Structure 1
């Protein structure tokens, strides 16, 4: 499957900057390059970026970095790393990674007179404080977000106030090539699932996440906020049992009090939330992996 195309509602990507060009950003860059775009990848050490991405070295949060001219599209796809602030608290690390990076990027775009037509920020569904199993979408309140979630909301707000027509893509949990820790936990017998209450989980295959970013970059009327998740919020236990059956191993067991204490924060976990992908789908996007089954089946093949 691919995105449904509507030529009247799409725009080309000509010169794209991916700021924070890690795994997800690299996937976005390569997809844009396949469409004929000239793509620049900015990160601290760009030496490992594959062709045809043009490597740019720089620290978004603290600089310095130089931007190419005539950019029409930008993706901000940063992720927290302890190497960027080993002595910072988790909230401080988020502030440096997201908010400081967004501020310096916007300042650089303005200072160099860039006429950026579309900007996509890869945010997170952690902006929602819902943890009782309720449904959330783009209209849901972020008023009860955690401290790190509030940093993401502040970053979204900062970018929305720029002249660059920004969209914040709130991604749920990423999985796919190189992101197989859940599979390994099931394979080793270490996986457990929450009970009382059972927990609802949300995820999106990393390739679909990259495709969603490109979809929004090319969409002339993209919303300011979009939830990026697959089409099936699902119980944690359902995913684990399905994986165990496919792997031919013993099914996972419910977690105990000692399990919860051994995994930081698990003892405070509630029933989770059900994140809707209706707006993303309604904008013309089709998931290649609409549920966890298609995505994990390919990983296990």
Structure 2
């Protein structure tokens, strides 16, 4: 089986590395020549795709692929993969599986209530609205293609080099308190195992919430990371007084609890890290809490 990945970023590359032995060939796109050279040298042939500019070889790769993973976000409100490659994807003779990495942000603000895959999207910012448009575009393509399309709505991603332990260690962690606010998270290795499970059991036009079992306040995660490291947690900062950038401010606009029943029931996935506690413990054991 040949896998092609649009956007060899953090989650997609972790998946490729973890399940490399399951594919005869893996290739994909990157934005920089430096990364392209490094991945190609590591045995993952890579091709440039930067906005509307792309290597012509990408089309040849798609026509030889059995599975495609898309982890590139919308660009200026439009999905760059759909806009440039939908025709060749639709006509690919071998393609049987398409996975699109989206976000639980499409649900918007549920006021702390529970959402599942049957909850209608209600995005509250342009970024999440563009994701809904992209999801619908991929589902439409799936209805017109022989390949099965799967939408994966990801919660907040953490893992090696991107976690609360690192932020506590380098002094960038903050405990911003917004009463009643909770978030779900997902370890990057659980994303990887879920994608592999889906490839083994494809379902046409399926949507999956990819989240852990325990929605929790951001400050609890930071406090637990500090506890594991034997450090004092950062001081409380009331949300109303915290000086946050635009991206961080938007992070607190959504308040919901995400149900992940479908990935367990339909794909048989047992999360390696069902809560942030197991995830942070494993990262600490792997050396994430070491200075330098």
Whether 1:149 and 2:149 are equivalent positions in the alignment is no
Tell me which of 47, 54, 61 is aligned to 2:37. Answer: 47
How far apart are the structure 2 equivalents of 1:116 and 1:282? 26
State the 1:31 CA deviation.
3.4
In the alignment, structure 1 segments of 5+ residues that lack a partner are: 1-13, 81-92
Moved over 4 A (4+): 265-268
Q: State whether residues 199 and 270 of structure 1, in contact with CA within 8 Å, keep that contact through their aligned partners in structure 2.
A: no
* 1:107 matched residue in structure 2: 87
Whether 1:158 and 2:137 are equivalent positions in the alignment is yes
Q: What's the TM-score, normalizing by structure 1?
A: 0.81
Q: State whether residues 20 and 76 of structure 1, in contact with CA within 8 Å, keep that contact through their aligned partners in structure 2.
A: yes
RMSD over equivalenced CA pairs, Å: 2.5
Tell me which of 160, 168, 173 is aligned to 2:156. Answer: 173
* 1:217 matched residue in structure 2: 199
How far apart are the structure 1 equivalents of 2:16 and 2:248? 35
Q: State whether residues 2 and 23 of structure 2, in contact with CA within 8 Å, keep that contact through their aligned partners in structure 1.
A: no
Whether 1:247 and 2:238 are equivalent positions in the alignment is no
State the 1:270 CA deviation.
5.1
State the 1:245 CA deviation.
1.3
Q: Deviations over 1:197-255 (max 9, x none)?
A: 23201111111112212221221336521011112112223222211211212234331
State the 1:259 CA deviation.
4.7
How far apart are the structure 2 equivalents of 1:221 and 1:131? 28
* 1:56 matched residue in structure 2: 47
* 1:11 matched residue in structure 2: none
| Cα gap change, 1:94 to 1:201, in 2 (>3 Å) | farther
SS of the residue 1:57 aligns to? strand
How far apart are the structure 2 equivalents of 1:71 and 1:61? 21
SS of the residue 2:109 aligns to? coil
| Cα gap change, 1:234 to 1:258, in 2 (>3 Å) | closer
How far apart are the structure 1 equivalents of 2:240 and 2:202? 51
State the 1:102 CA deviation.
2.6
Aligned length: 271
Higher mean alpha-carbon deviation, 245-254 vs 119-128, is at: 245-254
Q: Deviations over 1:43-66 (max 9, x none)?
A: 233212163322233336433432
SS of the residue 1:40 aligns to? strand
Q: Deviations over 1:173-216 (max 9, x none)?
A: 11111213x33443437411323x23201111111112212221
In the alignment, structure 2 segments of 5+ residues that lack a partner are: 286-292
Q: What's the TM-score, normalizing by structure 2?
A: 0.83
